Amino acid sequence: MIRALFSAKTLLVAALLLAALILAPQVVSRFYIYLMALIFATGLLATSLNMVLGFGGMYQFHHAVFYGFGAYALTLLLTKAGMTPVFAYLLAPCCSAALGLLLGLITVRLTKLYFGMLQISLGSLVWALAYRWYSFTGGDDGIHGIPLPDAVYSSTGAYYFSLAVCLVSLLIMYLIVNSPFGRIFQGIRDNPERCRAVGVDVHRHQLAGQAIAGFFAGVAGTLFVTVEGSVFPELMFWTLSLELIIMCLLGGWFVFLGPMLGAAIIVVLRTFVGIYTEYWTLVLGVVLMLLIFFLPEGVLGFALKKAGPAGADPAKE
Amino acid sequence: MLRIEALTKSFDGFMAVNNAHLTVEQGEVVAVIGPNGAGKTTLFHLITGQLAPDSGSIRFQEKEIAAKAPHKICRMGIARSYQVVNLFSRLSVFENVQVAVLARRGKTFNLFRPSRTIAVEETHQILDSVGLGGKADRVCGLLSHGDQKVLEIAIALGSRPALLILDEPTAGMSPEETAQTLALMKRLVAEFGLTILFCEHDMAMVFSIADRIMVMQQGQTLAEDTPEAVRNNLLVQEAYLGGGAAPC
C-alpha cells in the first residue's frame, strides 16, 4: 500500500527527514524541541482543517473548536474522571469526532458561506461554555498542571510522542485523501451538483468529512496538552480558527503537506517576531499581502509547480 | 420505461413546464425539441431530481421518482449530461469518470485503499469507448470544448445507466465533432442497448437519430410522435414558423 502511494525518491527524503527529527533532541536546545513539538501539534491541526477546506471545499471557519474540545476532553478525562491515560488519549479525539458529527448534522444542510457562518455561531457556543463554566472547565483561567503520564512529562518525551502521533496521523490522513472517499470528496469540492447526479449522497460524505477532520483536530488537541501541560478557552476561540485558515493558504491548500509548512512558518514567526514586538501580526499582515499577490497557490504549491513538470497538478504530489 | 404525466413546474408564477407528458420505451432514442425557453432543460431537471415538480407524475420502470433526491434517481438507472459543461474542474479526465464509477460501485466510503488502484480498467474502457483514451491524464479544464462535452457523456456512462439523458450534447461543437458525437450515440444504442432521451437544436441531427420526437412549447407537450408525423404536424409547423425556425 505504501509502495503504491510513494515513489522511491519520496521515501528516501522522508527517511532522511525522519532520521534528522529523531536525532534532533541530542543536538538542539530544549527550547527548540518544545517549539518543534508545538509545530507538530499545530501542523497536524492545520492539515486536519485542510482535509475539509482544501480537499472537501467546505468553508470550515471554526475548526479550532474541535482542537480545544479534544484538549479539554483529554484534560477532563484525566483530572475529573481519573481515567487511565491510554484510554483518555484514545477517547479524547473520539469526543471531537462526535462533536464534529453533531455540529455537522446541523451545518452540512447549508452550503459555502452559510455553512461557515453557522459553524462559527455553534462553535462560539461551545467556546462560551468552556469560558464560563468555572466549576467544570476552570472558566477563563483554564486548567493547569494536568497530571500527564511520566513517559511524556519531560520535553523530550513530549517531543517524541508528538512526532510519532503526528506522523501516524499524517499518514492516515494521506491515505484517506488518496482513497475513493478522498476522490469523491474532491469531486464534491469541485462540483457538488454533479456529484449528486452521479449517485453520491453529498451530505453523508460531508458529515463523514466533519467527523474525520474533527477526530484529527482532537488528536492535535491532545498533543497540545502533552506539550504545554495546560488548557484554556483561547484554544477554541475563533481567532485561532482564522489563523489556521491562513496557515493552509500560506503553505498551499491544494497540497497535502502545505498546511504543515504554513503552520511551521506561522509558529516560528509568532515566536521570534513576538520577542521583539507584541504586534507580530503586523508582520503576518505583510506576509499575507505578499502571498496573495505573488504566491496564490501557497509556498509549497508554488515550489512543487516550479519543481514538477509543466502543468503538473500539485495535489497529486 | 419512463412515463411522465401531467407534469407541472412553475417559478414565481411562470409556468416552465405545464401539464407535460412524455413516454420513453426501452431501447428507444427520443428527442425533445422546442424553441429556447420551452422548458426542455427544466423537464430534464425534474426527471433527474434537481428540481421537484409542483404536480404530476414521473414513473421510471414502474416506480414513482418525482421529487426523489438526485443521487437516488441516479442509482435507479438514470444518468445525465449537462447543457453547460459541468465537470470536476481540478480533477483529471480519468478521475472525472472514476468518480462516477466509484459512486456506482458504492465504494465511496472506502477510506484506506489507494483510489488509483480501483475501477481503473472500467474507467479506461469508458474513456476509450468515447475516444478520450489518449487524454486520460489531462486536467479536464484544459480540454477543448468539444472534448469536454464528450467527457460529459463519459461521466454519465460511468453510472452505467439504463436511461441516458443528454441535454444538448452537440451544442457549441464543430460539424466534425457533431458527426462524431452522433456516431457515438448510435453506437451506445447499438452496442450497449442504452435508451436515450435528449434535447437538441440541430434538427438534422435530431431527425437522423430519433425514433420519436416530443415537441415542447411554453412548457406544454405540443406533439409526441414519429419524426415523419412530427414533420407533417401542422401545429408544429406553425409553432416553429412563428418562432422563426422550421424543423427540416
User: Is residue B39 helix, strand or coil?
Assistant: coil
How much of chain A, in percent, has pLDDT values that exceed 90?
74
> A1, B48: Cβ pair inside 8 Å?
no
- Higher local confidence (pLDDT), B36 or B239: B36
Pairing relation of β-strands B78-81 and B63-64? unpaired
Instruction: Give domain status of residue A177, yes or no.
Output: yes
State the average pLDDT over residues A257-267.
94
Residue B52 lies in a domain: yes
> Is the same domain home to B32 and B68?
yes
Give me the count of residues in chain B: 248
Does a structural domain hold residue A277?
A: no
Arithmetic mean of pLDDT over chain A? 91
Whether A263 is covered by a domain: the verdict is no
CB-nearest to B112 from A179, A195, A205 is A179
Domain end call among B160, B176, B209: B160
Please indicate, yes or no, whether residues B36 and B96 belong to a single structural domain of this protein: no
- Number of separate domains in chain B: 2
**Angle between helix A155-177 and A202-228 (nearest 10):** 170
Residues of chain B neighbouring A254 (CB-CB closer than 8 A)? 90
Question: Is residue A160 helix, strand or coil?
Answer: helix
* Mean residue pLDDT across chain B: 91
Read off the C-alpha cell for A197.
447526479
- The reply to whether A220 falls in a domain is yes
Is residue A314's pLDDT more than 50? no
Closest Cα in chain A, distance from residue B179 (Å): 26
Residues B43 and B18 in one domain: yes
pLDDT (tens digit, 9 = 90+) per residue, A195-204?
A: 999 999 999 9
Q: Measured between CB atoms, does B89 come within 8 Å of chain A?
A: yes
10 Å CB burial of residue B236 (0-12, 13-18, 19+) is buried
**Distance, CA of A277 to CA of A219 (rounded, Å):** 32
Q: Whole domain around residue A74: which residue ranges?
A: 2-237
A270 part of a folded domain: no
Among B225, B221, B226, B167, CA closest to B198:
B167
Domain-embedded: residue B82: no
Put simply, the answer to whether B114 touches A198 (Cβ < 8 Å) is: no
Contacts of B80 in chain A (CB under 8 A): 197
CB contact under 8 A, B70 and A179: no
Claim to verify: residue B41 and residue B92 sit in the same structural domain: no
Residues B165 and B151 both lie in one domain: no
Residue A162 inside a domain? The answer is yes
Residue A283, pLDDT > 90, answer no
Last residue of a domain, one of B142, B160, B178: B160
Question: How far are the Cα atoms of A80, A122, A128, A139, B84 from residue A232, in angstroms, in the given order?
Answer: 16, 19, 12, 8, 51
Rg (CA), chain B: 18
Domain termination residue (choose one: B108, B130, B160): B160
| Claim to verify: residue B43 and residue B122 sit in the same structural domain | no
Select from B78, B96, B115, B123 the residue whose CB has the most chain A CBs within 10 Å, as the one to mutate to test that interface: B115
Residue A264 belongs to a domain: no
B229, three cell numbers: 408525423
Domain count within chain A: 1
* CATH assignment at residue B238: 3.40.50.300
Please give, rounded to a whole number of angstroms, the shortest distance from the CA of A56 to a CA of chain B: 12
Same domain? B71 vs B168: yes
Give per-residue pLDDT as tens, B107-151: 888 888 999 889 999 999 999 999 999 999 999 988 999 999 999
**CA distance, residue A315 to nearest chain B CA (Å):** 9
Q: Kindly list the residues from chain B whose CB atom is less than 8 angstroms away from the CB atom of residue A173.
A: none
Cβ contact A198–B99 (<8 Å) = yes
pTM comes to 0.89
Instruction: Report the pLDDT value the prediction gives residue A297, as an integer from 0 to 100.
Output: 85
Q: What's the ipTM?
A: 0.88
CB contact under 8 A, B71 and A205: no
What's the rounded Cα separation, in Å, for the pair A46 and A123? 17
Indicate whether B83 belongs to any domain. Answer: no
With bands split at pLDDT 50, 70 and 90, how would you rate the model's confidence at A312?
Answer: very low
Which of B70, B100, B139 shows the shortest C-beta gap to A313? B139
Cβ contact, residue pair A179, B111, below 8 Å = yes
Q: For residue B165, give the chain A residue with the closest CA.
A: A197
Quick one: average pLDDT of B184-205? 92
| Residue B228 belongs to domain spanning | 1-77+161-248
Predicted local distance difference test score (pLDDT) of residue B245: 52
pLDDT in the model for residue A23? 92
Q: What backbone phi and psi angles, to 5 degrees, belong to A83? A: -75, 155
Are both B175 and B72 inside the same structural domain?
yes
The pLDDT tens digits for A149-181 are 988 888 899 999 999 999 999 999 999 999 999
> Pick from B74, B86, B112: which is nearest to A191 by CB?
B86
